[in-house]
Amino acid sequence: MGDTNDGLAERPGGESAGQRLRAAREARRQGIDKVARELHLSVGTVGALERDDYASLPPPAFVRGYLRGYARLLGLPEQEIVDAYNRVAGGGSDPEPGAVVRGQSEASPTSWFGPLGLVLLGMAGIWGYQHWRSSQISGEAPSPVELSEPVPVEPAVNGTAMPGREEVAPSTGGPAPASNPMAAADALGSPAASPYPSTQPQPSPQPLRPEVDTLTLSFSGESWASVTDAEGKKLLFENVTEGQVKTVQGKAPFKITLGRPADTHLEFNGQAYDHGYKTNRTSARFIVPRNAGH
């Protein structure tokens, strides 16, 4: 028994278990059907054993048993035959228990809670960033509703922060602008070159307002002036002399107080603005609105 490996190789009939069994059966002049009947196996199974066709046979636990029974029937050493089979089948791995039920119960609460929690955390982070970003944009840029084409602007704000979220944008307008955040973002910077063909009637073509309004004050006499922008920031608060020109930039509407209004000429975003004061008898307090000059 100890020299089974070498012993099998030396045998003239061949090394494999099936070849040895077949040779022994033929030497005894026994038919395969008779052997099958004695072993209570089908002729196909016995044939597969002799051909070493283990793929068509049951798991190794059965095959070893069949081989032992066959070897015993023919008077061959059982262990040698099984050893020869083990060498060919590589020991034959047994099927793993519990596979079916384990597969069904993979999705235990603890198994998916971790990744789901991470995804939720990530989404919350993105939402927070987007919210912060949109508030930043609305602080700097004009309100989207002032655009000539309001529908595509809504995704444009989202799109600048998170291009991958097109599906959450409202789809009340045309599909093309909603699904193209980059184009919508372009629309912010260059309103004249808006690529969206507007199907809705527009009252009049309005140029988009610049993000920063410019107010120019030209003084033809000595005066004092105060200019405060929409955020309460004092842009100008000083005495001026004749011939001085002061230009301030900020967010309209501007709150203006002038000591000698008749001697002060205003330009709002490059266009003359008439404050309506013709004399210098009283100081003037007025507001230059955002749409002044249009």
192 alpha carbon, distance to own chain's centre: 33
Q: Which two tokens stand for residue 282?
A: 């009283």
Residue of 11, 27, 28, 58 interacting with other proteins (CB under 8 A): 58
Pick one of 6, 106, 167, 231: the residue that binds other proteins (CB under 8 A): 106
Give the integer Cα–Cα distance in Å for 165 and 162. Answer: 6
Q: How far is the CB of 96 from other proteins (least distance, A)?
A: 7
Query: Among 11, 28, 33, 61, which residue interacts with other proteins (rule: CB under 8 A)?
Result: 61
Asked if residue 158 lies in contact with residue 169, where contact means CB atoms within 8 angstroms, the answer is yes
Closest CB to other proteins among residues 98, 232: 98
Contact partners, residue 112, CB within 8 Å, separation at least 6: none
Q: Is 97 in the site for other proteins (CB under 8 A)?
A: yes
Residue 286, strand partner residues:
256
Please give the structure tokens belonging to residue 278: 């013709």
Torsion of CA 115, 116, 117, 119, to 10 degrees: 90
Q: Rounded to whole angstroms, what are the CA distances from 180 to 52, 152, 155, 169? A: 65, 9, 8, 11
SS3 200: coil
Query: Does residue 99 belong to the site contacting other proteins (CB under 8 A)?
Result: yes
User: 93 or 200: whose CB is closer to other proteins?
Assistant: 93
Q: Is residue 109 near other proteins by the rule CB under 8 A?
A: no
115 binds other proteins (CB under 8 A): no
Q: How far is the CB of 147 from other proteins (least distance, A)?
A: 54
Counting contacts by CB under 8 A, is residue 192 touching other proteins? Answer: no
CA distance 247 to 218: 9
Query: Judged by CB under 8 A, does residue 68 bind other proteins?
Result: yes
Q: Which is nearer to other proteins, 111 or 190 (CB)?
A: 111
Smallest distance, Å, CB 104 to other proteins?
8
Residues near other proteins (CB under 8 A): 39-42, 58-62, 64-66, 68-69, 92, 94-102, 104-106, 108, 111
